[in-house]
Amino acid sequence: MKSPDNYHIELCIKLLEEKFSFGNGHGYTQKDLEQLSSYIEEHTGYYISLSTLKRVWKGTYKTQPQIATLNALVEVLGYKNWQDFKIQHQKAKVEEEEGAKRSRWPFYLGVSVVAIILTVIVFSFGESGASNVKIKGPVSFSTDKTVAKGVPNTFIFEYDLSHVEADSFFIQQSWNAWRKEEIDPKKEVYASTYYESGFHRAKLIANDEVVATQAVHILSDGWEPHVYYSEADDRFIDFKGETFVKDGRLHLPIELLKKRGLDTSRYFMSRISHSDDYGVSSNNFGFKTKIKVDKALESNCPWVNVLLITTEHVFSAKLVRNGCETGASYKLGEIYKSGKDNNLSKLGTDLYKWNDLEIKVEGKKATLLLNGKKIYSENYQEDLGNIVGLSYVFEGTGSIDFVELTDEKGKVVFQDDFELYE
């Protein structure tokens, strides 16, 4: 059924396919949607099932997709929410409706033909597009880095595809399909350079099928700030060689942003990360931090998302301005809750003032504390492995005054009050 927002939904699909290079330009595959689902959950905290994404892409939803789903889809394109996306593209819709009426039917006829062709392709080759991959023996995949810590960092991948039959082969640095590079199956070594620290899972791909994965952990050389116009974009502004710690806090002042060429008239986000082998289990730990959002851009609903990266997934807490609690969320273990369908009013606060955030986990019981008060608690089941990274994502920019990570015995394994940088 066509929804009232059908024009914008189709446009959103088109932009996502372009952004993530779906099917290498030959239509989407199930793997594309699986990777998109993982990316959305990791970077927005909102989980969209594979079946939901399939309905959206095929246009088989009986009613308009839930607004939370639409919000998450456009958030990875750099928009604040679905309403923001529609407003910014309303002009193009009007022009199409009023200025191109005569060309509309040929256009939709062309889309229909393409859809029929894609349907035949999917029916013939399966949704993964990889039914012709044949694995007749073991597949080896290993890696080693050239630099102990910091970026850029080149990883030397060694592989053996002698037992795999397929049309094409790739190594993909992480979840991001933009970072997929074609390789020669007859060779055994391929070098790939990473430009961001963190914990990644490299993939060895035959056609569209992942045949092996390899953990890639790039330790950061201290704190690593990046600024993006869209977090889904592979491009960013870094601050290597710049001073961004001063007066006891980590901060990206507007003067520094302009010096690095940021267009401050555009919507942007900043991510500040630290990655290391902390030796702390995500089943028992303590985390404290003091943060605030800076007024680097005009926003009705500023936010900051604090993430603890683990070897299996993330813990996260997204704080929002009072009155904007629909944008709040948290993920504790495998449990994710969004302000769209839960009462997360306690994650609303004055973000332009300093806020103390804590996450305490004891035997897989996680508690969130804000400014010294317990606000939410969850008992989870899954083991998410060790903590291997700390990350702050601000709308615009923000400041960090204090960070502390403790192990199951309460021992401080990492702490930074940003006082010893002068």
Q: What is the DSSP secondary structure assignment for residue 175, as one 8-state letter?
A: S
> pLDDT band at 34, cuts 50/70/90?
confident
| Judgement on whether residues 85 and 166 belong to the same structural domain of the protein | no
Single out the residue in 173, 201, 218 at which a domain terminates.
Answer: 218
- pLDDT score of 67: 82
Does the bond joining 185 to the residue before it have cis omega, within 30 degrees of 0? no
**The tokens 């040929």 sit on which residue?**
106
Q: 36: domain range?
A: 6-125
Strand partners, 293: 398
Would you say residue 187 has pLDDT above 80? yes
242 shares its domain with 148: no
For residue 36, the model assigns a pLDDT of 87
Least confident of 123-137, 178-192, 226-240: 123-137
Asked whether residue 30 falls in the same domain as residue 161, the answer is no
Judge whether residue 357 has pLDDT over 90.
yes
Cβ proximity of 208 and 129 under 8 Å: yes
Dihedral pair phi/psi, residue 256, rounded to 5° = -70, -40
CATH code where residue 188 lies = 2.60.40
pLDDT at 111: 45
Average pLDDT estimate for 341-355: 95
Average pLDDT over residues 46-60: 83
421 belongs to a structural domain: no
Flag whether 422 is in a domain. no
Q: What pLDDT does residue 233 have?
A: 60
Q: How many domains does the chain have?
A: 3
- Distance CA(210)–CA(117), nearest Å, equals 25
At residue 361, does pLDDT exceed 80?
yes
Residue 1 lies in a domain: no
Q: Give tens-digit pLDDT for 133-161.
A: 888 888 999 988 777 777 888 889 999 99
pLDDT band at 305 (very low <50, low <70, confident <90, very high): very high
CA-nearest of 275, 232, 328, 283 to 38 is: 232
Q: Which range (153-167, 217-231, 314-328) has the least confidence?
A: 217-231
E-state strands within 219-354: 224-228, 237-238, 245-246, 249-251, 269-281, 285-294, 303-310, 314-321, 329-332, 335-338, 348-349
> Do 248 and 323 belong to one domain?
yes
Question: Is the same domain home to 260 and 334?
Answer: yes
What's the rounded Cα separation, in Å, for the pair 278 and 281?
9
Minimum mean pLDDT among 113-122, 257-266, 344-353, 384-393: which range? 113-122
Contact present, 301 and 339 (Cβ < 8 Å): no
Instruction: Please say which residue of 102, 125, 148 terminates a domain.
Output: 125
What's the rounded mean pLDDT across residues 28-55? Answer: 81
Percent of the chain with pLDDT over 70: 85
pLDDT in tens, 73-108: 988 888 888 888 888 887 555 555 555 544 444 544
4, pLDDT greater than 80: no
pLDDT confidence of residue 236: 82
Q: Is 152 domain-assigned?
A: yes
Taking 90 as the threshold, does the pLDDT of residue 287 lie above it?
yes
Cα torsion 25, 271, 294, 395 to 10°: value is 30
Domain boundary (125, 153, 178) is at: 125
Task: Kindly indicate the confidence band of residue 123, based on its pLDDT and cuts at 50, 70 and 90.
Answer: very low
On the CB side of 79, CA atoms within 13 Å amount to: 18
Assess whether 46 and 109 both reside in one domain: yes
Across the chain, mean pLDDT equals 83
Q: Is 267's pLDDT higher than 60?
A: yes
Query: pTM for this one?
Result: 0.67
User: 134 burial class (0-12, 13-18, 19+ CB within 10 angstroms)?
Assistant: exposed
Model confidence pLDDT, tens digit, residues 365-416: 999 999 999 999 999 988 889 999 999 999 999 999 999 999 999 999 999 9
Number of residues that this document lists for the chain: 422
